Amino acid sequence: MRFEAVTLFPEMFDAVLDYGITRRALDRGLYRFKSWNPRDFTDDPHRTVDDRPYGGGPGMLMQAEPLDRALNAVQQDLARESLKPWVVHFSPRGRPLTHQRVMEMKDMAALVLLCGRYEGIDERLLQRRVDEELSLGDFVLSGGELPALALMDAIIRQLPGALNAADSAVEDSFANGLLDCPHFTRPEVWQGMAVPEVLKGGNHAAIAQWRLQQSLTITATHRPDLLAKRGLSKQEQDILAVHPPGAPQNEAAR
């Protein structure tokens, strides 16, 4: 898979390229990355990429032309390998990103991550060049780079060979549409709080049952919308009847 970031701050992408699972996946050749700086596609000596908004108001906007040229360069570069990229822009007005969309995007050959800065991008560039707008939530950031990094991380960990066996099991738990169950490690008692007895018994069926019950109750408590979308099997309904939501699972989440 190819990631092509159009960004004024290419160094920010080191956060994915240089660390952890995403670094290892790059070393394994599971994806490639290139950045394209709109400043390199300007004509003037000041390498200007921004200008004031028509109609007035505070702040500056990214001009269409340097971004258009950068996107043309990406397109040309990929065309040499007969690839046609899918262009994504990050904005609170986009469709909320989901696990399901990540699983679809992991099969794309080439993804362009168009990263806005300042107060945004000239609307005409977005209309002409963007295939999909994605939101990570209802909040405002200083640029599109962090959402781009989050999308890259989410996709890369789904590429075949990115996760080792130990990591893979963790992935299954979101794939089932439920929130994760709580986890515990040593010591057995920490600040007077004990690890649940069932997890120390070695009864693997009982442990699996406890984890499913915890996942169901936590999801019903914190994200009932996820359960409504997903539906419940008869067995899961029975478990929730015995362990209903309401009782807080932990102090911090209340």
Give 48 or 237: the residue with its C-beta nearer to ligand 9WO. 48
Residue 85 interacts with ligand 9WO (CB under 6 A): yes or no: no
Task: Name the closest residue to ligand 9WO (Cβ).
Answer: 116
Residues 6+ apart with CB under 8 A from 118: 50, 59, 60, 61, 62
Catalytic residue among 119, 132, 133, 153: 119
Two tokens, residue 240: 């929730």
Tokens of 88: 């994504």
Q: How far is the CB of 60 from ligand 9WO (least distance, A)?
A: 10
Nearer Cβ to ligand 9WO, position 25 or 61? Answer: 61
The answer to whether the beta carbons of residues 49 and 76 sit under 8 Å apart is: no
Query: Does residue 90 touch ligand 9WO according to CB under 6 A?
Result: yes
Options 2, 117, 129, 157, the catalytic residue? 157
Check if 131 is active-site: no
Measured from the CB atom, is 54 or 139 closer to ligand 9WO? 139
Q: Rounded to the nearest whole angstrom, what is the least distance from the CB of residue 115 to ligand 9WO in the complex?
A: 7
Which CB, 65 or 119, lies closer to ligand 9WO? Answer: 119
Q: How many residues belong to the site for ligand 9WO (CB under 6 A)?
A: 17
Separation between Cα atoms, residue 72 and residue 67, nearest integer Å: 9
Give 146 or 212: the residue with its C-beta nearer to ligand 9WO. 146
The active-site residue out of 10, 92, 182, 245 is 92
The residue within the footprint of ligand 9WO, chosen from 28, 47, 93, 223 (CB under 6 A), is: 93
- Residue 53 as a binder of ligand 9WO (CB under 6 A): the answer is no
| 38 sits near ligand 9WO (criterion: CB under 6 A) | no
Closest contact distance (angstroms) between CB of 254 and ligand 9WO is 26
144 forms part of the interface with ligand 9WO (CB under 6 A): yes
Which one from 44, 81, 138, 172 is the annotated catalytic residue? 172
Which active-site residues does the annotation give? 92, 119, 157, 172
List contacts with ligand 9WO (CB under 6 A): 90-93, 116-117, 120, 135-137, 139-144, 147
